[in-house]
Amino acid sequence: MSPIPRPPIHPPVRRPSQLPGSNTPVVLALGSNLGDREATLRAALDHLQAAGVHVTTTSGFAASVAVKPNGPDPSAPGYLNAVALAHTDLSPRDLLDAIHTIEADLGRVRLEHWGDRTIDIDIVAYGTRVVAEPDLEIPHSRAAERDFVLAPWLEVDPDAELVGHGRVDALLAALRAPGAAE
């Protein structure tokens, strides 16, 4: 009698949530107020995909007034903004490094805090993680105060919640309430 051959051994199949990095959901805010703003936003989304950030949904593009340290500045070039929902296996630090590379590749020059820029990409949320480092704060420290972040986010995720702050729809309603600070 001949021996029964052993079946081939395969590694166990794992879902993305079981893999290192766990394919973490992220929320990214994108803005541009110099050059061809729409083309720059589209290029940034392409660069994110190439960097291992798998964009699943993008809001429509929305115009907003530039915000400077002293508040809204209608004399500055206006922004075009969007929010992207994505998944990545990159760590928060590696994601920030990838974003900085993309911004540089698309012509961003960091000369002035809150200055005009070809592209700005912020990590609004990284799963439910909270990160507090000198150059990396997640969730983004001002996301709860920014209509141009909350409105597009709500467009693509009506049940969105900002870790530590609550539901995005409630945050946006509070910002838009009569008498709310700008």
Distance of alpha carbon 83 from alpha carbon 20, whole angstroms:
26
Provide the mean pLDDT of the chain: 85
**pLDDT, tens only, 46-95:** 999 999 999 999 999 999 998 888 888 898 899 999 999 999 999 999 99
Superfamily of domain 21-176: 7,8-Dihydro-6-hydroxymethylpterin-pyrophosphokinase HPPK (3.30.70.560)
The 3 state secondary structure assigned to 160-173 is CEECCCEEHHHHHH
Catalytic site residue from 36, 117, 129, 159: 117
Of 6, 46, 73, 120, the catalytic one is 120
pTM assigned to the model: 0.83
Determine whether 122 is an active site residue: yes
As a whole number of angstroms, the longest Cα–Cα distance in the chain is 89
- HSE-CB of 118 using CA atoms within 13 angstroms: 17
Is 117 annotated in the active site? Answer: yes
Distance of alpha carbon 81 from alpha carbon 33, whole angstroms: 9
Residue 22: the pLDDT is: 55
